[in-house]
Chain A
Amino acid sequence: MTATAPAPPRRGIRPGHVLRCAADRVRIELLQYFRRSDALVFTFLFPVLLFAIFASAFGALPPMIELEGQQVTQPQYYLPAMLAAGVFLSGVQNLGIEIAVERNDGTLQRLAATPLPVLSYFLGKLGQLLVTSLAQAGLLLAVAVGVFGIELPTEPERWLTLAWVFFAALICFAVLGVVIAQIPRTVNSASAVVIPLALLLQFISGIYLAFPALPEWLQTIANLFPLAWVGHGMRYALLPDIGRYMEVGEAWNLPMVALVLGIWAVVGTVVAAVTFRWIRRS
């Protein structure tokens, strides 16, 4: 900087800035994610660990349902639940805590002082979520098949359903993570605010407790939120058809999955876009 050649003429911001910055944000987000041991244990590996525990503990129990030559075992039932939990934890819980911490520890204010577009920041978070959730889902399926001998469906239609429910859940939980990150006011309260809310929703949405075991009024409340529907969609994709006898109305309801996730995603995006600011201007 001293005694170097005169600075070249200044350039303006070139087209494609948003996407170039977003690509570099994804890189930065992933670097940070895999260095944070709490994210690795409580977000990335958590559903896999829980699945291993559930599958080992309840593996010897009789099937939850047996009919028409098909059966749904306990480990089978928990696989879609843990897939849903994985996207939910990575989206709502981890992004929620991350953004809340970054808001309150000065990171966002530092970014606000740069030409980084807000959209690039979010695309970076979304990219992180996409990569980590896919890796997590892959690991979970590998453990389920490799360690616990669970059979996965062979019909392409089931896999297609798994894919769209997974991506719809990802978008939905990403924007809800952004929204929930507005609540905590300090770095220290971020986890304390986000985790109980996330835990409560998981308990009433058939993630840790089997959905049919819940009272009807609780199911009704849970069905107002997207998580129970993600679980429903994933059970459709991964369980034999008789699994529907354990669902509300004893039927699969994929249009409702699409509708509820769609509404939450749209409302969440609008609320996130309206409320998110780099800094609270005063």
Chain B
Amino acid sequence: MELDSLSRRLIDRFQHGMPLCAEPYRAMAEALGCEEAEVLAGLQRLDRAGCLSRVGPVFEHSRAGASTLVALAVPPARLEAVAACVNGYPEVNHNYLREHHYNLWFVLTGPDRAHLDRILTQIEAETGLAPLDLPMRSAYRIDLGFPLEVAS
């Protein structure tokens, strides 16, 4: 997906944070040296193209309760069924298939650690697979963003 220059600058400049003021799009326009309407149009264009995950507040997950990264080593023949079981839990908000003995990786989020323990026990009972429970101990980087230019 090739981006126009303004769209690229919008992402590079504001993926880490937008001005939290009364007229955010005007402040963004001033920062980029363009018109306010161009900022909104640029975001809408990015959104229509599916290039925006979202525009809005990113909440501190760890403060919203408890979360952990979980892995399961699923026999290939059972992948679909186990993935469906795991995805059925509203507490699961990311689930990736990865090329490894531990091939199913998902994030569990809940109001507290006891809740997560109950879900882990349930998943183990339902799948017969022992979950690898890897809660975060320290965060060295939690930003979802990275510069488009450097990363390319």
> A and B: real partners?
no
Which residues in B have some Cβ–Cβ distance to A below 8 Å? none
